[in-house]
Amino acid sequence: MIINSFYQLLPDIIMYLFNHYVFKEMNFGIKFTFVFLFASSLLFLTCLLFFNNITVFAQQENTTINADDLFGIEKIYPTKSDGREWYINMSNPKNDPNVTFTFNPRLAKQDDGSWKIRDDHIRINVDTLNGTEEWKNVEITGYVKIDSIINPRKSVITDIDWVARTDQHNEDFPCHGLSLHGGIYPDGSAAWKKEIWFTGGYTKEKSVPKITDSLMNRWIGWKTVIYNTNNDSAVKMESYLDNSNSNHWVKVFEITDNGGWYASSSDKVFYSANCGRSKDHMVLNSGPIVTFRADNVVLNFQDLSIREIEPPK
């Protein structure tokens, strides 16, 4: 408002100076040059102030949009308008109509409020109730600590894995196992893999070695983000790590599937499921289930959440 008022008075100020004091004895050419330079300088300063205000406003607005979630954990992307949000019941994780624990493992509450679970195959499934929109473009977050590895043999899958755009996994309905897996391993490496059907439709994983030190006996935050791009013709996958358990998130890996990421099984095995999908089928669909998965570990977990996000433009 102050800038606008000053700008409206600027012509009167210039005319007053033009006819009084210093200008009185100057010839017209010198007067014109002086006034032109004076007005140009004021205009330049006004523009600087104007665009600086815009920049400050944009930063404040972005900070507001990307506020922390209900657990106080930083959001990477804002929640979609009227989008679903799910937060684990830390008082009793099994007391939630949206949640099923595959194999019904025993949970033990710890002194710090977290929960310990020991099982060869940990599956915390967050379902979609009737009348609720399925999960699609999601940000999946959780804090975990691996106490120990159950079976030390290298041939046994041992990982933390957030699974999205999926449904039930069983041999009676193999095509329901379509999913995307964003995982981190106890040695500190990370990977993404795609599952086109259960169990013969896995791709080779795309991975990065050693994004951090060993995960054993320390808390880390693991966050995966999945969203469609290019008018729903490709899918972007991003992985974020809070390595110091301090709510400081760093992107450690990202890939885009726009075709050409093939299942590793033979044609005979892959097409035996009769799912009607190509070997490089892209998982562009929504899915009723998101799963917090871990294999072959004694695991502590807390503050698990899922949010339907507004993807970046």
Same domain, 59 and 175: no
Element (H, E) at 3: helix 2-19
- In tens, the pLDDT along 298-308 reads 999 999 999 99
Residue 121 resides in a domain: yes
Contact 92, 82 (CB under 8 A): no
- Same-domain status, 225 and 241: yes
Whether pTM exceeds 0.95: no
The residue-averaged pLDDT of 101-117 equals 98
Helix or strand (DSSP H, E) at 16: helix 2-19
Q: Are residues 123 and 57 in the same domain?
A: no
Considering the domain architecture, whether residues 79 and 206 belong to the same structural domain is answered as: yes
**pLDDT in the model for residue 218:** 99
Q: Which region among 33-47, 143-157, 278-292 has the lowest average model confidence (pLDDT)?
A: 33-47
Whether 259 is covered by a domain: the verdict is: yes
Whether 189 and 204 map to the same domain: the answer is yes
H helix or E strand, kind and range, residue 208: strand 206-208
Which of 49-63, 87-101, 110-124 shows the lowest per-residue confidence on average (mean pLDDT)?
Answer: 49-63
The number of folded domains in the chain is 2
Q: Is the pLDDT of residue 2 over 50?
A: no
Helix %, strand %, coil % of the chain (to 5): 25, 35, 40
Residue 56: which region, alpha, beta or left (left: phi > 0; alpha: psi -120 to 50)?
alpha
Same domain, 86 and 177: yes
pLDDT digits (tens, 9 = 90+) for 152-163: 999 999 999 999
Q: Looking at residue 27, what is its pLDDT?
A: 57
- CATH number, position 240: 2.60.120.560
Last residue of a domain, one of 63, 88, 109: 63
Over the stretch 29-79, which tens digit does the pLDDT of each residue have? Answer: 555 555 555 556 555 555 444 444 333 222 222 333 558 999 999 999 999
Q: What is the domain extent for residue 51? A: 2-63
The per-residue b/e assignment along 162-192, b for 16 or more CB within 10 angstroms, e otherwise, is bbbbbbebeeeebebbbbbbbbbbbebbbbb
For the residues 85-110, what does the mean pLDDT come to? Answer: 98
pLDDT, mean over the chain: 87
242 and 279, same domain (yes or no): yes
Degrees, nearest 5: CA angle 62-66-72: 145
